[in-house]
Structure 1
Amino acid sequence: MTLAGQTRQAPSGGSSDATLAASDHTAIESLTRLFDAQHASFRQSGPPSLTERQKHLGALAAMVMNNRSRIQEAMVADFAVHPEELTVMTEVLAVAGQASYISQQLPLWAASQERYVDPTLLGSARSEIRYQPKGVLGVMGPWNLPFALTLGPAADMLGAGNRVIIKPSEVAPACAELLRDMVTATFDSDRMAVVCGGLELAKAFPALPWGHLVYTGNSTVGRQVAATAAQNLVPLTLELGGKNPAIVHTDRVTDDTVRHILVNKLVKNGQICIAPDYCLVPRDQVTEFVERSMSYLQSTVPSYSESPDCVGIVNEHHLQRLVSLTEEAHARGCRVLTFPADGGVAVGTRQMPVSLIIDPPDDLAVMQEEIFGPILPVKPYDSVDEAIAYVNSGPPPLGLYVFATDTSVVDHILNRTTSGGLCVNACTIQGAIPSLGFGGAGHSGYGRHRGVEGFREFSHQRAVVTRGEGDLIHAFFPPYSGLARSVVAAALDTPPSDADTSKEN
């Protein structure tokens, strides 16, 4: 598969580096003003009521629903091809549904949680956790789901009573500009705002003293964001992706398994952080798995890469990167099956056919990098423990997918591996349930957004104790005499000496 005859085009408008730098300088000034204004407003107004938070969430949901046609236009502008149905499900309904779910759950989530107090020591004292807003929070969004992965975390933050500033990815500029326009028209800038810009803005954004910062993207930039944010001890949520395995057990090499893995690779043409990155298949069933895969593609999506369902790769840089992965595999003598067999990359729309790479060596780039495209390596294994060891030899992935009928096999894999999320006999569903906290583990990120975990992530969980009567707290204070010794003796179940009990407290 090559890009013969295709030439790389300059960005529209021919913006110079100096122009971009000046634009970023203006954006950084705007960011600083917005941050200061939101911080002052937060200090002056205090935490919003639950009713106010629910109003903000309702406005967010209505915003995406009312702008769905514009959102679709922006997605097509950035991806060249993007099915309207996919846009509505992932960028509109997912955001509106999440905001609605948070609004419904807020009274339960925001209620103070009472904690146990030992009455022997502290008498009638009460202890509780109270959830308070953290203040002004930042979101650095990715290009692949430019509305869902900016407005989704923002919904969690608004539900927790915070102020929010979003920096969308410059890789999807039409979506970034529309997001800014939508938010500006819907929210007061001291509640939620969007700043657009390039590299210099991206460097400046994590340098502010945020109450909390969310970054979604690759691990290289994630490390840089973490290092910058650490200068102000800013708490972080990092969602960094990784190589998500699909382990297929010998009892599940079926048409249903193949279909489910492939369709999850076809969604957005593989440009999703939780898409299956590679498959581990029993060695003696690899041929069957591949034959079933090609049969499914032929019967269901025969002209996939030319269809309106095939999302364009976001830009030339990422397209060339993906093409180079398959070219390296070819050059190393790997068996590469491309579907359609005579398919090539569509010039102009950047639509790319699906490729299966059979048993690629581990030193190939396709087995070292997160693929983020329509390429699926298929690796053989000889035992479940070997498959587990292979997964564990790399960093913990964002998602892990187990296809097995035997529940003992499922439990064994679940107990012996670590990942951000896991699905059994399915892929990616963990990313579509608003009640489930979403995030990585280790190299694939840390922290959670969505669900009650997201509410707590973006809340200050304040420990509050109200003293009652009948306590023994004076035993902790000097001078340590009779009362202290009696408390220690009671705890150790040893009687105090006569000298101890005779002394005054």
Structure 2
Amino acid sequence: MNTHSNNNPIPATPPEVQRLQHLLQLQKEAYQRQPCASAKVRLERLAQLKQVLVQYQDDIAKAIHHDYGNRSIAETKIGELLSCLEHIKYYSKHLSQWMKPSKRHVGLIHQPAKAWVRYQPLGVIGIIAPWNYPLFLSIGPLICALAAGNHAMIKISSASTHFGHLLAKILAEAFPEELVAVVTDGGPISDAFSHLAFDKIIFTGSTTVGKTVMAAAAQNLVPVLLELGGKSPAIVHSSTDLSDVAERLAFGKLWNAGQTCVAPDYLFLPRGRVNDFVSAYQEMVEQMYPNLANNPDYTAIINNKQYQRIQGYLEDALAKGAKVIEINPEHEDLAAHRKIAPTLLLHVTADMQIMQEEIFAPVLPILEYDQIDEVIEFINQRPRPLALYYFDFDQTRADYVAQHTHSGHFGLNAVLTHAAQDDLPFGGVGASGMGKYHGPEGFFSFSHARSMMSIPKVFFLKFIFPPYHESLYKFLEKTFMR
């Protein structure tokens, strides 16, 4: 038996971790056999992915529904499946153009050399997907990885058991595991996955776990693309129609029961407009969800752990003076369904837990303001959010807010939907993430921009090789150094 110098035995590697290591080695060897797949091959892979997603769409929606206890089938098909299919269409349309070498300028002293950039696959991508949008946040990065010519291993959250096993089955039909493999379950597998020597890791999840993933990846100098969360604020200008704002916010906040990283997390209203907004919001919610308990369109909280976390936030806020407005049209008992009614919080203060942590629930705290600079200062004193939403049809005022704040996305009179826009990069800044994907950025994020240069037999630089002459310096100074 191998031992450390202190005679403690080296712990054996668990079989499931050995399996991960074997998969990675298998994929790396397969990549080396075909290190730069042609556009034709990549397009065929995207087409095969689309085929199985369409074929198994009902099974996918049912599996995610089971993992949640109740997940709106419509939200899964529209928010996840449709978005994935549109991304495949978008990448298939533009891929050949992106793959073309990019010609670069060559300076005079390097003439007549040629320079260009070739976009080369990185190799094997590790994709760590969360439970809230398990299809969109696993297949979305996979589309980018395959388009860029990579192989990929996908780690599905242990909270998405039904979906994870189904996805493994589906993708095994579409691809050999040396090209695409799915890993399920948690425990030692979750930790070991982020320690693997991938060529790049993309992680979607909380800022806290993102730090752990980044630290693990750093041990192998693996670059990371982190899609994190945070508290995305919404701001309403006094000139804006509150009914319109309420409708858009209710849609964005209650989609997936608020379990969305880009959901509006808290709301700033002009002082004196709170009661009007509450009335408008209640009306919109009741139109969208006339009942809650057995409403298949109103999604449950994913599990008891998350449910209790949210209840803890509400209890803390109530104890510290918040007013809780629960919108439950039929006054149903929702606890047995693991659902939380659409809720507004008034008299909110910064010391409440719900104003310090990402909410991830259908709960919207409301704060009041007098001057927009107060709001900007409040936002800028906190970690940079994944999204910032501003409601105002005056472009000058909107530009002022955008220029004086930072966020992964700036949404003007709209929430949430930017994540599904094919041609927009998606990602955070600061504590809300690093790196972008979707759009062209998705292809380039999973490609190595390899600089290329070719020098012919006769070239100008040859004339500055040693020994150096004073006449040469005078020529360089006169020509280039002024």
**Normalized against structure 1, the TM-score is what?**
0.90
Question: In 2, are the aligned partners of 1:422 and 1:430 still within 8 Å (CA)?
Answer: no
Label 1:93 to 1:298 Cα distance change in 2 as closer, same or farther (>3 A): closer
Classify the secondary structure of the residue corresponding to 2:359: coil
Structure 1 Cα separation of the partners of residues 336 and 175 of structure 2? 37
Question: In 1, are the aligned partners of 2:62 and 2:73 still within 8 Å (CA)?
Answer: no
Label 1:404 to 1:470 Cα distance change in 2 as closer, same or farther (>3 A): farther
Listed as ranges, the gaps of 5+ residues in structure 1 are 1-21, 494-505
2:282 to 294, 300, 320: 294
Structure 2 Cα separation of the partners of residues 454 and 475 of structure 1? 43
Question: In 2, are the aligned partners of 1:476 and 1:484 still within 8 Å (CA)?
Answer: no
Q: Show the 5 A alignment for 1:64-463.
A: 64-118=53-107, 120-340=108-328, 343=331, 346-463=334-451
Which residue of 2 is the match for residue 501 of structure 1?
Answer: none
Structure 2 Cα separation of the partners of residues 469 and 401 of structure 1? 58
Structure 2 Cα separation of the partners of residues 287 and 280 of structure 1? 13
Residue 199 of structure 1 and its aligned partner are, at CA, apart by 2.3
Label 1:409 to 1:321 Cα distance change in 2 as closer, same or farther (>3 A): same
Name the % identity: 33
Residue 55 of structure 1 and its aligned partner are, at CA, apart by 0.4
Classify the secondary structure of the residue corresponding to 1:492: coil
Structure 1 Cα separation of the partners of residues 93 and 387 of structure 2? 28
Structure 1 Cα separation of the partners of residues 193 and 381 of structure 2? 34
Which residue of 2 is the match for residue 19 of structure 1?
Answer: none
Question: In 1, are the aligned partners of 2:246 and 2:281 still within 8 Å (CA)?
Answer: yes
Question: In 2, are the aligned partners of 1:398 and 1:419 still within 8 Å (CA)?
Answer: yes
Structure 1 Cα separation of the partners of residues 481 and 29 of structure 2? 52
Label 1:380 to 1:122 Cα distance change in 2 as closer, same or farther (>3 A): same
Task: Give the letter for the 1:157 counterpart.
Answer: A
Label 1:306 to 1:253 Cα distance change in 2 as closer, same or farther (>3 A): farther
Task: Give the letter for the 1:286 counterpart.
Answer: V
Question: In 1, are the aligned partners of 2:35 and 2:123 still within 8 Å (CA)?
Answer: no
Which residue of 2 is the match for residue 33 of structure 1?
Answer: 22
Classify the secondary structure of the residue corresponding to 1:154: helix
Structure 1 Cα separation of the partners of residues 119 and 422 of structure 2? 20
Residue 492 of structure 1 and its aligned partner are, at CA, apart by 2.9
Residue 294 of structure 1 and its aligned partner are, at CA, apart by 1.9
Classify the secondary structure of the residue corresponding to 1:138: strand
Question: In 2, are the aligned partners of 1:122 and 1:470 still within 8 Å (CA)?
Answer: no
Classify the secondary structure of the residue corresponding to 2:450: strand
Q: Show the 5 A alignment for 1:461-480.
A: 461-468=449-456, 471-474=459-462, 477-480=465-468
Which residue of 1 is the match for residue 38 of structure 2?
Answer: 49
Structure 2 Cα separation of the partners of residues 394 and 79 of structure 1? 32
**Normalized against structure 2, the TM-score is what?**
0.94
Q: How many residues align?
A: 471
Structure 2 Cα separation of the partners of residues 456 and 449 of structure 1? 8
Label 1:71 to 1:121 Cα distance change in 2 as closer, same or farther (>3 A): same
**What do residues 95-130 of structure 1 show as CA deviations (whole Å, max 9, x unaligned)?**
121112111110111111111112x32222211110
Label 1:226 to 1:477 Cα distance change in 2 as closer, same or farther (>3 A): farther
Residue 195 of structure 1 and its aligned partner are, at CA, apart by 1.2
Question: In 1, are the aligned partners of 2:239 and 2:392 still within 8 Å (CA)?
Answer: yes
Structure 2 Cα separation of the partners of residues 306 and 485 of structure 1? 85
Question: In 2, are the aligned partners of 1:65 and 1:93 still within 8 Å (CA)?
Answer: no
Question: In 2, are the aligned partners of 1:123 and 1:469 still within 8 Å (CA)?
Answer: no
Question: In 2, are the aligned partners of 1:343 and 1:353 still within 8 Å (CA)?
Answer: no
Question: In 1, are the aligned partners of 2:290 and 2:330 still within 8 Å (CA)?
Answer: no
Residue 341 of structure 1 and its aligned partner are, at CA, apart by 6.5
**What do residues 30-62 of structure 1 show as CA deviations (whole Å, max 9, x unaligned)?**
211111011011112221110000000011111
Question: In 2, are the aligned partners of 1:237 and 1:447 still within 8 Å (CA)?
Answer: yes
Structure 1 Cα separation of the partners of residues 237 and 456 of structure 2? 59
Question: In 2, are the aligned partners of 1:124 and 1:469 still within 8 Å (CA)?
Answer: no
Classify the secondary structure of the residue corresponding to 2:272: helix
Question: In 1, are the aligned partners of 2:290 and 2:329 still within 8 Å (CA)?
Answer: no
Question: In 2, are the aligned partners of 1:306 and 1:346 still within 8 Å (CA)?
Answer: no
Question: In 1, are the aligned partners of 2:285 and 2:342 still within 8 Å (CA)?
Answer: no
Structure 1 Cα separation of the partners of residues 241 and 118 of structure 2? 50
**What do residues 392-413 of structure 1 show as CA deviations (whole Å, max 9, x unaligned)?**
1111111111100111110001
Question: In 2, are the aligned partners of 1:165 and 1:192 still within 8 Å (CA)?
Answer: yes
Structure 2 Cα separation of the partners of residues 250 and 448 of structure 1? 34
Question: In 2, are the aligned partners of 1:355 and 1:376 still within 8 Å (CA)?
Answer: yes
Residue 426 of structure 1 and its aligned partner are, at CA, apart by 0.4
Residue 304 of structure 1 and its aligned partner are, at CA, apart by 3.5
Residue 344 of structure 1 and its aligned partner are, at CA, apart by 5.8
Residue 212 of structure 1 and its aligned partner are, at CA, apart by 0.6
Residue 335 of structure 1 and its aligned partner are, at CA, apart by 1.2
Structure 2 Cα separation of the partners of residues 474 and 281 of structure 1? 68
Question: In 1, are the aligned partners of 2:73 and 2:297 still within 8 Å (CA)?
Answer: no
Residue 472 of structure 1 and its aligned partner are, at CA, apart by 2.9
Residue 391 of structure 1 and its aligned partner are, at CA, apart by 1.0
Question: In 2, are the aligned partners of 1:273 and 1:372 still within 8 Å (CA)?
Answer: yes
Structure 2 Cα separation of the partners of residues 127 and 138 of structure 1? 32
Label 1:386 to 1:41 Cα distance change in 2 as closer, same or farther (>3 A): same
Label 1:197 to 1:27 Cα distance change in 2 as closer, same or farther (>3 A): farther
Label 1:37 to 1:140 Cα distance change in 2 as closer, same or farther (>3 A): same
Task: Give the letter for the 1:290 counterpart.
Answer: V
Classify the secondary structure of the residue corresponding to 1:250: coil
Which residue of 2 is the match for residue 503 of structure 1?
Answer: none
